[in-house]
Chain A
Amino acid sequence: MMAYALRRLLGAIPTLFVIVTLAFFMMRAAPGGPFDSERRLPPEVERNVKAAYNLDKPLAQQYLIYLGKLAHGDLGPSYKNKDFTVAQLIGTGLPVSARLGLSAMALALLLGTFLGVNAALKQNRWQDYSVMGTAMLGITIPTFVTAPILTLIFGIYGISLFGHEFSLPVGGWNGGALANMVLPVTVLALPQTAIVARLMRGSMVEVLRANYIRTARAKGLSVPHIVLGHALRAAALPLVSYLGPALAAILTGSLVVEQIFGLPGIGRYFVQGALNRDYTLVMGVVICYAALIILLNFVADILIAFLDPRIRLS
């Protein structure tokens, strides 16, 4: 087990290497540079600035310099956000994005599993159809439609609950206050909840037909006991392999959600950075996201081995 884990972790290095290389050369293929602006700099100044950032050297040499620094954990300075290093920017943005993404993921997994299991238990009845119909809606309506609609309903019009009128903040982070997180997390979690519910229903329907479930029923176990104690473990397998793609989708979605709700996460840096040719910032964010996804895929593989005794990791 340990040997497998170690090998998988080492295997992530070439993957990261490919990602870094691809991102580096793609970024450089773009016309324009970080110091092209409306007001052109005097030639000497421009030359000096470029020399300071090693941008005057041949591309291959720049690549090697970047790799060398990266190996020491140095992501370099941001070209556009003066006085900040990429590591600092990611350091302030990542906690926001991570909290947003992980909350959305947790919400999607819990709610999706609950809905999917219930749909499977009531297969081909109205409960099933309504859950699956809603799930289809959740998959087909993009986040940038749900975000303004939910904002309008809960943020601007407000809701009345127990005789109290209140409304949720429509944007801003406010130090990660719960009220500020409700809308973005919900919007981010909705499509994933739908996918999780569909996956869960599919595998649960299959598992509930298995012989050992029939035995459990024949023994007279209650439905919650059967589901939680026997069926869920087997039915959760496809879900676990979906964790990696789910995280990728949530990270992608957070680009939009961070923009709509004005949250200071790293998704915003990415789009800005790409448009401004802020090479190092874009590279930093891509590496960061890729590392997160690789890590989660790794965790998912280990988790599957724990859940499924048929799989031997070697």
Chain B
Amino acid sequence: MIATGQTLKAVEEVKGRSLWVDARRRLFQNRAAMTSIVILALIALLALLAPLLSPFAYDEVNYDIIACAPNWWPAEASCRAAGHIFGTDAVGRDLFVRVLFGARVSLAVGLVATLVSLVIGVMYGATAGYLGGRADTLMMRLVDVLYSLPFVFFVIILMVIFDRNFILLFVAIGAVEWLTMARIVRGQTLSIKQKEFIEAARAGGVSPLAIITRHIIPNVVGPVMVYVTLTVPGVILTESFLSFLGLGIQEPLTSWGVLISDGADQMETAPWMLLFPASFMAVTLFCFNFVGDGLRDALDPKDR
């Protein structure tokens, strides 16, 4: 009797490892993903502290140092600008602070648009999956239709309509990025709603809305998180693409897309104008992809 009690106690003391603890441990062991998280945090910090890090303002024009190389630039350059560690742009603005301000815009667009797509996609997908039957067919059919739209064209039309409104840029991109999210969530919901705990909730008289928000959505967090980390770089790319076409952020504000497109014009005479924004953007996208892959491996180990 006593022995059994002790055994029971011993069993209790073994700390249970939840799925999340396991996943976190696997993520921490993934060196590429952890390095990426650190680098992303650094870039975000630099972007936040941008005005403190440079003596120059992002819109401070100086016609004496137009498209000048930084002092340390190894190759030949027509002029050099002391104190501008990334050189200057075509109207003599400090490139370093502009790249960091570009990071603010690009990261903000990436995060906010992803958030918009997350909210729409998760609610839509969970509702469709939970309702099932004809409502599901109809809702997913709409997603199929929207899928076959060349969606960037609609973003372009939207940007033209609202005259390059900054906030609308977020919403417009987010509003077209939610489709895949909705599909993923619906698929997950379909399998989750067969589980006993949903049946129990329904038997207990919980309303459908509460079942969706309290019981289904928390259980789709894993795959959704993976997809979110992969959506952010996609959105950043879309924004830079729009900026390249001249439909994104307006001067004197800037984004990586604008900087890259300006730099590409002057690549022969002032390669630093392309090099710095392009490498910041490439490193960021790289890191998001690594984090996404790492999360997927951590949450779904059978896929490795």
Contacts and interface: CB of A to CB of B under 8 A. Distances in A.
A220 interface: no
Contacts of A156: 268
Contact of A144 (B152, B260, B268): B260
Contact of A27 (B157, B237, B278, B289): B157
A26 B267 contact: no
A21 B278 CA distance: 38
A142 B268 contact: no
A27 B144 CA distance: 22
Interface string A104-121: 000000000000000000
B270 to A, nearest CB: 12
Interface in B243-292: 244-245, 257, 260-261, 264, 267-268, 274, 278, 281-282, 285-286, 289
A61 interface: no
A273 to B, nearest CB: 10
Given A142-B241, A255-B245, A271-B245, A282 B157 contact: yes
A274 B261 contact: no
B237 A248 contact: no
Contacts of B241: 142, 144, 252, 256
Contact of B148 (A137, A139, A244): A244
A157 to B, nearest CB: 10
A18 B245 CA distance: 26
A145 B145 contact: no
Contact of B289 (A15, A136, A141, A251): A136
Interface string B112-133: 0000000000000000000000
Nearest to A202: B303
B87 to A, nearest CB: 17
A202 B132 CA distance: 32
Given A19-B149, A139-B289, A289-B150, A144 B244 contact: yes
Given A29-B161, A256-B245, A142 B156 contact: no
A248 B261 CA distance: 23
B150 A293 contact: yes
Contacts of B158: 26
Interface string A44-70: 000000000000000000000000000
Contact of B157 (A23, A251, A255, A256): A23
Interface in A257-307: 259, 270-271, 274-275, 282, 285-286, 289-290, 293-294, 297
Given A30-B161, A140-B233, A255 B152 contact: yes
Contacts of B285: 139-140
A31 interface: yes
A215 to B, nearest CB: 24
Nearest to A147: B264
A17 B45 CA distance: 47
Given A144-B241, A156-B268, A31 B150 contact: no
Contacts of B274: 145, 148
B264 A144 contact: yes
B160 interface: yes
A140 B282 contact: yes
B245 A14 contact: no
A221 interface: no
Interface in B52-79: none
Given A145-B278, A256-B241, A152 B260 contact: no
Chain B interface size band reads 20 to 34
B300 interface: no
Contact of A26 (B148, B151, B157): B157
A204 B215 CA distance: 37
Interface in B19-37: none
A149 interface: yes
Given A23-B157, A152-B268, A274-B160, A18 B278 contact: no
Contacts of B268: 152, 156
Contact of A252 (B148, B152, B260, B286): B152
Contacts of A251: 150
Contact of B244 (A14, A29, A256, A286): A256
A30 B157 contact: yes
B229 interface: no
B199 interface: no
A282 to B, nearest CB: 7
Interface string B141-165: 0001100111111101110110100
Contacts of A255: 152, 245
Given A19-B149, A294-B148, A142 B260 contact: yes
B189 interface: no
Contacts of A141: 278, 282
A26 B161 contact: yes
Given A145-B278, A256-B241, A275-B160, A290 B261 contact: no
8 contacts: A27-B157, A27-B161, A141-B278, A141-B282, A144-B240, A244-B148, A252-B152, A256-B244
Interface of B: 144-145, 148-154, 156-158, 160-161, 163, 233, 237, 240-241, 244-245, 257, 260-261, 264, 267-268, 274, 278, 281-282, 285-286, 289
Given A15-B144, A152-B267, A252-B241, 10 more contacts: A18-B145, A29-B161, A140-B285, A140-B286, A142-B240, A142-B244, A144-B244, A145-B274, A285-B153, A297-B148
Nearest 9 Cβ contacts at the A-B interface: A140-B285, A30-B161, A148-B264, A289-B150, A252-B152, A274-B160, A144-B244, A15-B145, A26-B157
